[in-house]
Structure 1
Amino acid sequence: MAPDASLEDAMTRTSIDIDDVALAEAAAFYGTKTKKDTVNAALRDVAVRLKRMEAVEAWARMGAAGDFDALLVKENYRP
């Protein structure tokens, strides 16, 4: 998608069966009014959460490798 492309350009029209109870609960959670807005909010939320989980996992690997050990010694990070 080009940087100046609108959000509508990135959407695909599709027809799917959706659990109405789950949709209603998600709409209440996100405060959305339409099915489209609810589904898109949920999909974006999942994508953001996945990126956060990947970042935390990367930090955990760095911690296990000792990359932050220098921060345990105050003299290493304070002037």
Structure 2
Amino acid sequence: MTETRLEVDQEALELAAKYFGTTTPADTINAALREVAARSRRAKAFAELVEIGKTGQFDELLVKRRPR
């Protein structure tokens, strides 16, 4: 791990700590960074699914799910 010195918005840090349930600034910042990275991956995956859906590849699944 790398040690970095930086100024942090204390109010934002406190709010983030409450949100993540963390007790140290380092844990809070790391949790926030991991969350942002995960959200970014999910957004990219969702965008890819939307593009696949536009091709009609999911149409067969929709037909199978319709009640008869």
Question: In structure 2, how many angstroms separate the alpha carbons of the residues matched to 1:56 and 1:64?
Answer: 12
Question: In structure 1, how many angstroms separate the alpha carbons of the residues matched to 2:62 and 2:33?
Answer: 39
How far apart are residue 72 of structure 1 and its match? 2.6
Runs of 5+ unmatched residues, structure 1? 1-10, 75-79
The answer as to 2:22 corresponding to 1:40 is: no
Give the TM-score of the pair, scaled to structure 2: 0.88
Matched residue count: 64
Deviation beyond 2 Å, 4+ runs, structure 1: none
Question: In structure 2, how many angstroms separate the alpha carbons of the residues matched to 1:72 and 1:50?
Answer: 28
The root-mean-square deviation of aligned C-alpha atoms, in Å, is 0.8
Identity of aligned residues (%): 48
How far apart are residue 66 of structure 1 and its match? 1.0
Question: In structure 1, how many angstroms separate the alpha carbons of the residues matched to 2:55 and 2:40?
Answer: 23
How far apart are residue 63 of structure 1 and its match? 0.4
Runs of 5+ unmatched residues, structure 2? none
Secondary structure at 1:73 match in 2: helix
Q: Given residue 42 of structure 1, which amino acid in structure 2 is its aligned partner?
A: A
